[in-house]
Amino acid sequence: MKFGVIVFPGSNCDHDAYWTIQQVAKQPVTFLWHESHDLENCDAVIVPGGFAFGDYLRTGAIARFSPVMESVRKFAEGGGIVLGICNGFQILCESGLLPGALMRNVGLKYVCKPVQVRVENAETPFTNSCTQGQVLTIPIGHMEGNYFCDPDTLEELRRDGRVIFRYCSPSGEVDSPKAGAGGMDRKSNPNGSLDNVAGICSAGGNVLGMMPHPERSAEPELGGVDGLKIFQSMVEVMSAR
């Protein structure tokens, strides 16, 4: 099995993802240049965090036109495993691989801190090493992490089990919307995200976008290893194929 990590101008978490896959998960990995159509026979593709093309226009709006994303779309349509982290989540939404959009955080401030997310679906290629309802502590670092979609799309995501992670309290409680703070009680919601969404998957379950950075919580030296479960899940699924 082989992982590929895309490199865009402005990516700054590509090497972090590469390190985690190679040095922690102990799997073969290669960088994929944004101007290339060649996915180099990778079995899984990581669209990493950062500021692709400087986030000009809006996050992911330019990166979606990169030649490599055309190949990623075809790869995903064929059942290939794709993980978009933070800016990668934004790029996947802009590319049409995931529904909805990531808007400016409520409060219009960059947020960088560890948060808790609850695993809402443990039967995906990204969460099979987790348990249903498990609370993971994974860092975030974003300005545009406020997930939004129309009511019909949200209902579809809920119905089909495609909301994979929700922001929650350390005990696993998801705050209900309340008055104030932009219409949201933000005790466990760091950005105002609709329905506390922290990560969603495609209809086929093979494409995941998540705002938290699992590569930043994959080693004890980083303060926790909950993020490693995401990569371990991917390895397990790829090994079984």
Q: List pLDDT tens digits, range 81-107.
A: 999 999 999 999 999 999 999 999 999
Distance CA 111, CA 144 (A): 9
% of residues, the chain, pLDDT over 70: 95
pLDDT confidence of residue 179: 41
162-179 pLDDT per residue, tens: 999 999 999 999 975 554
Q: What are phi and psi of 179, to 5 degrees?
A: -70, 150
| Rounded-to-integer distance, Cα 48 and Cα 46, Å | 6
Q: How confident is the model at residue 181 (pLDDT cuts 50, 70, 90)?
A: very low
For residue range 153-164, list pLDDT tens digits in order: 999 999 999 999
Known catalytic residue: 213?
yes
| Local confidence band at 240 (pLDDT 50, 70, 90 cut-offs) | confident
Catalytic residue among 94, 120, 144, 215: 215
How is the chain split among helix, strand and coil, in percent rounded to 5? 30, 25, 45
What mean pLDDT do residues 146-159 have? Answer: 98
The stretches of 52-168 forming alpha helices (DSSP H) are: 67-77, 87-94, 151-159
Average pLDDT over residues 200-226: 97
What distance lies between CA 106 and its chain's CA centroid?
19
Q: Given this model, what pLDDT does residue 183 score?
A: 43
CATH code for the domain in which residue 168 is found = 3.40.50.880
Active site residue 34: no
Rounded Cα–Cα distance for residues 29 and 235 (Å): 12
- Find the catalytic residue in 93, 130, 144, 213: 213
Single out the catalytic residue among 13, 42, 86, 168: 86
- Residues of 80-115 as b/e, b for ≥16 C-beta within 10 angstroms? bbbbbbbbbbbbbbbbebbbbbbbbbbeeeebeebb
Report the sign of the C-alpha dihedral through residues 214, 163, 98, 148, in that order: negative
pLDDT at 186 over 70: no
- The residue-averaged pLDDT of 63-86 equals 98
Question: How many domains is the chain built from?
Answer: 1
pLDDT of res. 184: 45
Q: How confident is the model at residue 141 (pLDDT cuts 50, 70, 90)?
A: very high
What is the number of alpha carbons within 13 Å of residue 198 lying toward its C-beta? 28
The verdict on whether 215 is a catalytic residue reads yes
Contact 102, 145 (CB under 8 A): yes
What are the φ and ψ backbone dihedral angles of 6, each rounded to 5 degrees?
-75, 140
Print the domain residue range for 235.
Answer: 3-240
Tokens of 226: 């909950």
Between 179 and 31, the more confident residue is 31
CB-based contacts of 233: which residues, under 8 Å, 6+ apart?
124, 125, 126, 127, 128, 129, 130
| CA–CA gap between residue 108 and residue 97 (Å, rounded) | 26
Q: Supply the pLDDT for residue 77.
A: 97
Sequence-separated (6 or more) residues with CB below 8 Å from residue 224: 114, 137, 138, 217
Q: What is the pLDDT of residue 241?
A: 79
The mean pLDDT value of the chain amounts to 94
